[in-house]
Amino acid sequence: MSAAAAPIRLLVVDDHTLFRRGLTALLARDARFLVAGDAADAGEALRRAQELQPDLILLDNHLPGVNGVDALPSLRQAAPQARVLMLTVSEDEADLAAALRAGASGYLLKTIEGDALSDAILRAMRGESIVAPEMTDKLVAAFRALPATPAEPGAVQDGPLASLSQREQEILREIARGSSNKEIARTLSIAETTVKIHVQHILRKLNLSSRVQAAVLATEHGLA
């Protein structure tokens, strides 16, 4: 990020006042970020998101009234351009799956170190999907728990993935297996930059915002 670039505008949503203030103070020390506002519950978060139109929302799950995961669709509607990173104590597999399927760009635990959180924010703004290392096994388990669709030859052509080319389907299959762009490039013997372009096309065609959402969709429809 260049010195001339505008800071990333953040909205911090957490019902614990001390944690919220501490997190705001931590992020304020980094010139790359600007905490535009904060909220203590889902209702306030929706109002602030609509008013401030932040670049990224740090969202706790355990909020009074409406959980963060349940508020996610409304928040994304209130601030369509904003990315959402869950920052929570919940290690529940169902919360993880629900957040990612609702469009969260990542799922982080509150035990994360400050530098790692800053890095996660920057990566999310680049369009990457971030899941806490402690949750990786649970992410795999969440995928396996999805209802399986038989992977028949015509299934992909008849379903929501029908708009994808054969190469895009191959890349989506690798994404669902957890492969990085570099690994996909090596597997398919193509350039990594070509993979990146295909991934962008896949997300646009499927109207998705993250690789994790794409992996979930691929698993649901038997492509993985």
**Structure-model confidence comparison of residues 153 and 213, the more confident one:** 213
For 23, the token pair is 């997190």
Q: What is the pLDDT of residues 114-123, one digit of tens each?
A: 999 999 999 9
Please provide residue 203's backbone torsions phi and psi, each rounded to the nearest 5 degrees. Answer: -65, -40
Looking at domain 8-141, what is its CATH homologous superfamily? Response regulator (3.40.50.2300)
Q: Write the secondary structure of 52-102 as one string of H (helix), E (strand) and C (coil).
A: HCCCEEEECCCCCCCCHHHHHHHHHHHCCCCEEEEEECCCCHHHHHHHHHC
Average pLDDT over residues 135-158: 55
Neighbours of 197 (CB within 10 A): 10
pLDDT at 89 (0 to 100): 92
Class of the CATH-defined domain 147-220: mainly alpha
Distance of CA 216 to the CA centre of its chain: 12
**Structure-model confidence comparison of residues 65 and 152, the more confident one:** 65
pLDDT score of 220 more than 70: yes
Q: Say whether pTM exceeds 0.85.
A: no
Contacts of 61 (CB under 8 A, 6+ apart): 67, 68, 69, 86, 88, 90, 95, 99
Average pLDDT over residues 181-190: 90
Distance of CA 124 to the CA centre of its chain: 7
pLDDT score of 155 more than 50: no
Highest mean pLDDT among 54-68, 120-134, 206-220: 54-68
pLDDT at 19 (0 to 100): 94
Count of CA atoms in the C-beta half-sphere (13 A) of 146: 22
pLDDT score of 217 more than 80: yes
**Structure-model confidence comparison of residues 223 and 151, the more confident one:** 223
Q: How many residues does the chain have?
A: 224
Average pLDDT over residues 184-196: 90
Q: What is the pLDDT of residues 39-94, one digit of tens each?
A: 999 999 999 999 999 999 999 999 998 899 999 989 999 999 999 999 999 888 88
Average pLDDT over residues 97-116: 89
Query: CA–CA separation, 3 vs 32, rounded Å?
Result: 9
**Structure-model confidence comparison of residues 198 and 149, the more confident one:** 198
Q: What percentage of the chain exceeds 70 in pLDDT? A: 88
Q: Which of 22-36, 47-61, 96-110 has the lowest average pLDDT? A: 96-110
* Helices within 79-222 (DSSP H only): 93-101, 114-125, 136-145, 155-158, 166-176, 181-188, 192-205, 211-220
Contacts of 92 (CB under 8 A, 6+ apart): none
Residue ranges per structural domain of the chain: 8-141, 147-220
